[in-house]
């Protein structure tokens, strides 16, 4: 009824200017009649469809926008401030990947690597006090095995936040585990790791390469657990094969997989082997082994021996194996010589006396 009376009022006042309805650009009076016809029936279809479409579009965008913001926040939380202590060859190797993933990098070393650090976007500190006052989330110990204890004791850990995460990447694990637990305050978190690769073996990326870790001490707090996972995620994102095992188990395996490999490579290097025109695949493998092992410093090899209690036993086994092979060869040679010396003799020699 309201719509009818309203239409009637409009029809009975033709001389009144239509201020509320501006004239149509082309259709003339048809524009004035069309609204009254649509008003008497059902609500106009086109305008009502426009509003729900806009609302539905906003509703559809909101989950996407929320998920995008949530993903951004998660990635932001996983970005760490990492202080690399020992910014040598291996520390720089790790820093390149850390920087590419967007982590904030601090660096400290006895040698001034400030120029190289700047190319990676890292802040270099010659004074460890200045480094610790930046309050990194993670302190990464990337020194040599032989200097790890002296370097750790030189850090003013009292200037760090009291629940800082310490991580080592040394090639032995029981030694740094005991060192970190005995030297750091009890509130500090400790993860012992060993990337089983280096600049030479990982020239084509880290995908499929083993990364060993042991969560030695991580506080029972969501933030501290998340920080530990964020650090390990650096290597997982690069495709590393994540291997969680105890430090003791690692050292037992590493005596064979690493110390033995380095020992054989350095023994072959002493022979000064050269490439030949008739190289076999096996011989080329030995040449590559020499290159890979001797590109590392002797300090690394010495550390593998001194700070892994399994290394001495393995050296003894290696020496026994060499003696056994030599004995087998020379025993065979002696048998051949005996046959040649006594061939055609009327009486066979008393071999039992000869062997004595």
DSSP string, 213-234: EEEEE--SSHHHHHHHHHHHHH
Residue 30, pLDDT > 60, answer no
Q: Is residue 300 part of a domain?
A: yes
Convert the pLDDT of each residue in 41-83 to its tens digit: 455 555 555 555 554 554 555 555 655 565 555 566 679 999 9
**Is 2 among the domain residues?**
no
Q: Residue 213 maps to which CATH number?
A: 3.40.50.720
Same domain for 148 and 118? Answer: yes
Q: What's the rounded Cα separation, in Å, for the pair 2 and 219?
A: 72
Beta bridge mates, 213: 193, 244
> Do 106 and 165 sit in the same domain of this protein?
yes
Domain limits at 296?
254-338
Coil, strand or helix at 58: helix
**Are residues 239 and 294 located together in one domain of the fold?**
no
Of the three residues 195, 211, 245, the one that is the final residue of a domain is: 245
CA distance 78 to 103: 9
Are 152 and 296 found together in one domain?
no
Distance CA 189, CA 80 (A): 15
pLDDT of residue 3: 45
In a shared domain, residues 231 and 90: yes
Smallest Cα–Cα separation from 169: which of 232, 262, 119?
Answer: 232
Task: For residue 171, tell me if it sits in a domain.
Answer: yes
pLDDT in tens, 239-257: 999 999 999 999 999 999 9
Helices (H) and strands (E) counted in the chain, each on its own, are 15, 8
Give percent of the chain with pLDDT exceeding 70: 75
**What tokens were used for 31?**
């524009």
In a domain, 299, yes or no: yes
For the segment 24-45, the average pLDDT, to the nearest whole number, is 49
Identify whether residues 135 and 281 lie together within a single domain.
Answer: no
Kindly state the average pLDDT of the residues 258-278: 96
Angstrom distance (rounded) from CA 123 to CA 129 = 14
* Bridge pairing between strands 104-108 and 123-125: parallel
Query: What mean pLDDT is predicted for residues 139-157?
Result: 97
For helices 247-254 and 174-183, the axis angle rounded to 10 degrees is: 150
Q: Are residues 105 and 240 in the same domain?
A: yes
Task: Verify that 236 and 269 share a domain, yes or no.
Answer: no
% of the chain surpassing 90 pLDDT: 68
Question: Which tokens sit at 132?
Answer: 């610790």
Q: Same domain for 231 and 260?
A: no
Range of lowest pLDDT (51-55, 134-138, 276-280, 297-301): 51-55
Please indicate, yes or no, if residue 237 is contained in any of the structural domains: yes
Tell me, yes or no, whether 334 lies in a domain.
Answer: yes
| Domain count across the chain | 2
| 189 shares its domain with 328 | no
- Print the SS3 string covering 150-212: HHHHHCCHHHCCCCCEEEECCCCCHHHHHHHHHHCCCCCEEEEEEECCCCCCCCCCCCCCEEE
Residue 228 sits in the same domain as residue 288: no
Same domain? For 112 and 230 the reply is yes
Whether 90 is covered by a domain: the verdict is yes
Give the mean pLDDT of the chain.
84
Using DSSP, state whether 22 is helix, strand or coil: coil
The last residue of a domain, from among 187, 221, 245: 245
Cβ neighbors of 85 (< 8 A, separation 6 or more) are 108, 109, 128, 131, 139, 140, 141, 142, 143, 151, 155
Q: Is the pTM of this model over 0.95?
A: no
* Other Cβ atoms closer than 10 A to 205: 12
Q: Which of 218, 245, 272 is the C-terminal boundary of a domain?
A: 245
């Amino acid at each position: 009824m309201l719509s009818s009376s309203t239409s009637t009022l409009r029809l009975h006042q033709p001389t009144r200017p239509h201020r509320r309805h501006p004239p149509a650009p082309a259709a003339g009076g048809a524009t004035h009649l069309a609204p009254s016809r649509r008003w008497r029936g059902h609500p106009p279809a086109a305008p009502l469809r426009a509003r729900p479409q806009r609302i539905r579009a906003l509703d559809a965008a909101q989950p996407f926008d929320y998920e995008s913001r949530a993903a951004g926040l998660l990635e932001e939380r996983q970005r760490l401030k990492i202080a690399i202590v020992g910014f040598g060859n291996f520390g720089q190797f790790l820093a390149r990947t850390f920087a590419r993933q967007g982590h904030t990098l601090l660096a400290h070393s006895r040698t001034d690597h400030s120029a190289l650090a700047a190319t990676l976007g890292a802040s270099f500190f010659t004074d460890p006090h200045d480094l610790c006052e930046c309050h990194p989330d993670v302190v990464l110990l990337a020194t040599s095995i032989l200097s790890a204890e002296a370097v750790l004791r030189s850090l003013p850990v009292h200037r760090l936040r009291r629940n800082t995460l310490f991580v080592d990447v040394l090639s032995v694990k029981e030694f740094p585990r005991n060192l970190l637990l005995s030297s750091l305050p009890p509130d500090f978190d400790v993860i012992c790791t060993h990337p089983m690769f280096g600049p030479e073996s990982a020239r084509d990326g880290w995908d499929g390469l083993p990364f060993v870790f042991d969560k030695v001490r991580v506080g029972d707090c969501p933030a501290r657990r998340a920080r530990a996972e964020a650090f390990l995620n650096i290597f997982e994102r690069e495709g590393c094969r994540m291997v969680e095992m105890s430090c003791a188990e690692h050292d037992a395996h590493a005596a064979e997989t690493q110390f033995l490999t380095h020992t054989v490579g350095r023994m072959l290097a002493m022979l000064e082997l050269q490439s030949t025109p008739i190289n076999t695949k096996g011989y080329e493998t030995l040449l590559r082994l020499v290159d890979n092992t001797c590109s590392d410093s002797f300090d690394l090899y010495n550390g593998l021996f001194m700070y892994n209690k399994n290394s001495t036993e393995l050296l003894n086994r290696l020496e026994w194996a060499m003696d056994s092979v030599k004995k087998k060869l020379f025993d065979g040679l002696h048998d051949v010589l005996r046959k040649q010396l006594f061939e055609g003799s009327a009486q066979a020699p008393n071999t039992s006396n000869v062997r004595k």
